[in-house]
Structure 1
Amino acid sequence: MILVTGGAGFIGSNFITSWLSAEDRPVVNVDKLTYAGNLHNLASLKADKRHVFEHADICDMQKMRSLFEMYRPLAVVHFAAESHVDRSISEPADFIKTNINGTFTLLEAAREYWLSLSVAEKEAFRFLHVSTDEVYGALAPFSPPFSEQSPYAPNSPYSASKAAADHLVRCYHQTYGLPTVTVHCSNNYGPYQFPEKLIPLMICRALSNEAMPLYGDGLQVRDWLHVRDHCAAIRCVLRNGTSGGIYNVGGWNEKTNLEVAHVICDILDKLVPKKNGSYREQIAFVTDRPGHDRRYAINAGKIARELGWQPVETFESGIAKTVQWYLDNQDWVHDVQSGDYMKWRDRSFFQSGT
């Protein structure tokens, strides 16, 4: 089987459901269930015996060692991370603990386990680390997109903590020979994304008739990647990626935050029109956050050339599906916004002792 960390989060849960629909190997899902971890994301797998959930913190070395010993995974896919830049500015300690110390602990447990394997098993094993384009810093308006050779220049506690994790993963390959591979992704969007991130925040605020806040002038540029395309890329890298390799994964969809907000409003104007006016009238510009990077963009040429992966979704097709998903899953949105999913978690999960 494979071991997935952070599998109850946005990208992790999408990866597990897509993995089990495409692959035979079962998954052990390791998640601490912080505010962004939601077992409701995996409701479709409730009766699927190929999905095993383990409530655990990747910073707990004893627990990580026991999980490797118990499940003996063929690979690790490491999503678990604190990921919201705004939170990293106000609460940086959580990011240092999870993203740096947690990655170190997981690497150590993986290395000890890997050393116990046969020669053939060692060669087949992979530790896949999911990182971000934010480790490269900000791009000037007309600079070429980030490549795998771009220098690191993180500008927030979040991106700095992910950069540190990247360096740990690299050194475990260089020093110990651990078969690692790192994937840097651009901004993901799609179903089950916690509504603190731009796209679900805009959708939820619009439907609630609240202000739709954009930092500064709203002209920050991001490359948008549908989460299911990202999951397909990870499966591709896990299957055929080179040990010690780095692969940038992007959607080839550079958009300003204001453009994204406008597209969302225009879709909602068609699907659930307001009695008067447009959802665009709810867009509100607010004071920019500290150290806000102006532009990110990914050159995904290497993964296309070497592994044959390309995104399936255009931004237009992906955002239309995403808006429709949030419209069709208002119960999930309500549970997340109200915190009811955490009450359910505490009542149904923790008290059950599972």
Structure 2
Amino acid sequence: MKLLVTGACGFIGSQYVRTVRELRPDDQIVVLDKLTYAGRRENLEGVDCELIVGSIDDPQIVREAMEGCDAVVNFAAESHVDRSIKAQYDFCRTHVLGTAVLLDAVRELGVERYLQVSTDEVYGSILDGSFTEQSPLDPSSPYSATKAAGDLLVSAHVTTYKIDAVICRGSNNYGPRQHPEKLIPLTILNALHGDPIPVYGDGRQVRNWLFVEDFCRAIDLALREGRPGEAYNVGGPDECENLEVVRRVLELTGRDESLIEHVRDRPGHDRRYSLSSQKIREELGWEPQVRFDEGIARTVAWYRDNRWWWEPIRRGEYREYYERHYGRPLKSATSA
């Protein structure tokens, strides 16, 4: 196949390209990425693919990138909930307008299959049980609301234009190359530097943790074997409170819990996410291979061993963002 993978210089998208390269070395891969603060060329270092720099809301660039492709996998996203609360426009532009531009091109060029990468957050919070693909969408933040809008556009194009499209919704991903604004890499890097670790509210928000390699295998299965027009939920094998995640990282980095600093909770913070993966397990045979204890140890080790990757981030825009958001500066990036 010849694939167009959008947003593949980001965290999950770059791992997906690596997964495809490992599983299907004969596939051709074209990457379209805007290279925002979270999209980095370094994430695809050493990977055989063609990189086109551009935005998915640009019809001309999208059409040029998609020409001759058999399938499209859309990872392009503004992914940080905190940033969506303070400035939602980029989220609307990428998740809604960008998805519409991609779908127009898919239809006009006759692309065989389109896969929309989505999130458990489109369902909102659930205190007991797990969301299924039949659960109503009830997003709580501008991030999840715009992701839900993109999903609904995909479903509408399946019904109205009869395109062959699949939606894949993952639970909280973690692993190497995740931007430090997210909970796990933030906690790892702050712990390595001896910085206080901000924890929203009481820290007892529950998340369903999914190692990024497992999600990427699920996406590839859904792309190639999923039923047209269907959505597939992909949940991790373990759920854990955020505070327990922080404690586990502190243990792995040799730091004590005195670094934990409870801060004011995020507005509209969902209390618990949980996805049922029964459908993708039964229909496509997917199973997660990495439990949380193994995955978090591998993740901590990767950040410890790859200073070259995160030091430029910690010295750059992220440093200013962190101080604005949490009201305190980071320690020197060279003090870890």
When the two structures are superposed, what TM-score results if normalisation uses the length of structure 1?
Answer: 0.88
Alignment correspondent of 1:231: 216
Q: Please name the residue that 2:117 is paired with.
A: 130
Give the distance between the partners of 2:270 and 2:183, measured in 1 at CA: 15
The aligned counterpart of 2:250 is 265
Matched, 1:94 2:90: yes
SS of equivalent residue, structure 2 residue 118: strand
Q: Which amino acid aligns with 1:305?
A: E
SS in 2 for 1:129: strand
Whether the 8 Å contact between 1:206 and 1:279 is mirrored in structure 2 is no
1:138-157: CA deviation from partner (whole Å, max 9, x where unpaired) = 112xx211110111110100
Q: 2:182 aligns with which of 193, 197, 203?
A: 197
1:12 aligns with 2:10: no
**Cα RMSD after superposing both structures:** 1.2
CA positional deviation for 1:66: 2.1
Query: Match of 2:271, as an amino acid?
Result: R
Gap runs ≥5 in structure 1: 115-121, 270-277, 342-354
Q: In structure 2, what is the Cα distance between the partners aligned to 1:41 and 1:83?
A: 16
Equivalence map 1:79-118=2 (5 Å): 79-114=75-110
Distance between the aligned counterparts of 1:313 and 1:146, measured in 2?
21
State the secondary structure of the residue aligned to 1:44: coil
**CA offsets, 1:193-230, max 9 Å, x none?**
00000000000011111100000000000000000000
CA contact (8 A) 1:181 1:246 kept: yes
Contact 1:20 1:26 in 2 (8 A): no
- Following TM superposition, the consecutive aligned residue runs of length 4 or more in structure 1 with deviations greater than 6 angstroms are none
Amino acid at match of 1:312: Q
User: Whole-Å Cα distance in 2 between the matches of residues 241 and 163 of structure 1?
Assistant: 20
Max Rg structure: 1
- Shift of the alpha carbon at 1:333? 1.1
Q: Secondary structure at the match of 1:255?
A: strand
Q: Do the aligned partners of 1:233 and 1:309 also contact (CA within 8 Å) in 2?
A: yes
Counterpart in the other structure of 1:275: none
2:130 to 145, 148, 163: 145
Q: State the Cα deviation string for residues 88-112 of structure 1 (Å, max 9, x = none).
A: 0001111011111111111111110
For residues 323 and 132 of structure 1, the distance between their equivalents in structure 2, rounded to whole angstroms, comes to 24
Deviations 1:56-96 (A, max 9, x none): 11000122122223xx1111000001110000000111101
TM-score, with structure 2 as normaliser: 0.92
Correspondence 1:52 to 2:50:
yes
Q: CA deviation at 1:312?
A: 0.2
Instruction: Say if 2:74 and 2:117, in contact at 8 Å, map to a contact too.
Output: yes
Matched, 1:290 2:267: yes
Question: Is the 8 Å Cα contact of residues 151 and 167 (structure 2) preserved in structure 1?
Answer: yes
Separation in 1, partners of 2:198, 2:158:
42
Per-residue deviation, 1:253: 1.1
Identity %: 50
For the residues of structure 1 that align with 2:160 and 2:307, how far apart are their CA atoms?
Answer: 49
Instruction: Answer whether contact 2:30 2:65 (CA < 8 A) is retained.
Output: no
Aligned residue pairs: how many? 316
The CA distance in 2 between the partners of 1:179 and 1:253, in whole Å, is 32
- Partners in 2 of 1:293 and 1:38 — Cα distance? 29
SS at match of 2:310: helix
Residue of structure 2 equivalent to 1:29: 31
Instruction: Specify which of 147, 155, 162 is matched with residue 140 of structure 2.
Output: 155
Equivalent residue of 1:166, what SS?
helix
